[in-house]
Amino acid sequence: MNKNFEKFLRPVETLCATQGKRLTPPRRTVLAILHQRGIPLTAYEILALFPEGNAMSVYRALDFLTEVGIVHRIESLNAYALCVENHCLHRDSQYMVCASCGRTTEIHDHELNESLKRILKTQGFALARSTVEAHGTCGKCI
């Protein structure tokens, strides 16, 4: 196993354990693929890089990892990305998606999450997870 990935994985394993959850081999492999590629991938792209896996195991692993909060689903791209923060599992994510180069960057702003939760609460809405996607042009492409 890649040294960087081991280092990345350690706090994730600890957090999963505190929630009574386990990183099974397919879950670990999906994480390793996302970590190695470093860009958002669709389930099919992950599957193509996971010869021993099948669609069902990839989808189930992605469901688990999204639920735990170490992987986020970027709805508009139909893709999954590793959270930039591996020590604070969270289900609320914000992304900047550049229309020019396709670069997708997680913003990871807790304040934004809290504001959203507060606003929704005043509407009597209990938030389970949210993805905010900002579409535009990144600093490198302007």
When the beta carbons of 29 and 104 are compared against Zn ion, the nearer one is 104
For the bound state, the minimum distance from the C-beta of residue 28 to Zn ion, rounded and expressed in Å, comes to 19
For the bound state, the minimum distance from the C-beta of residue 2 to Zn ion, rounded and expressed in Å, comes to 21
When the beta carbons of 61 and 83 are compared against Zn ion, the nearer one is 83
For the bound state, the minimum distance from the C-beta of residue 54 to Zn ion, rounded and expressed in Å, comes to 27
When the beta carbons of 42 and 86 are compared against Zn ion, the nearer one is 86
* Number of other CB atoms surrounding residue 124 within 10 Å: 6
Listed in sequence order, the residues at least 6 apart from 44 whose beta carbon sits closer than 8 Å to its beta carbon are none
For the bound state, the minimum distance from the C-beta of residue 47 to Zn ion, rounded and expressed in Å, comes to 23
Quote the distance between the C-alpha of residue 61 and its chain's center: 12
Binding-site ranges for Zn ion (CB under 5 A): 83, 93, 98, 100-101, 103, 138, 141
When the beta carbons of 41 and 57 are compared against Zn ion, the nearer one is 41
Quote the distance between the C-alpha of residue 124 and its chain's center: 27
For the bound state, the minimum distance from the C-beta of residue 86 to Zn ion, rounded and expressed in Å, comes to 9
When the beta carbons of 46 and 83 are compared against Zn ion, the nearer one is 83
Of 53, 71, 52, nearest to 62 by C-alpha is 71
Helical H segments across the chain, by residue range: 3-18, 25-37, 43-48, 55-68, 110-122
Do 131 and 73 meet the contact criterion of CB atoms below 8 Å apart?
Answer: yes
Do 86 and 34 meet the contact criterion of CB atoms below 8 Å apart?
Answer: no
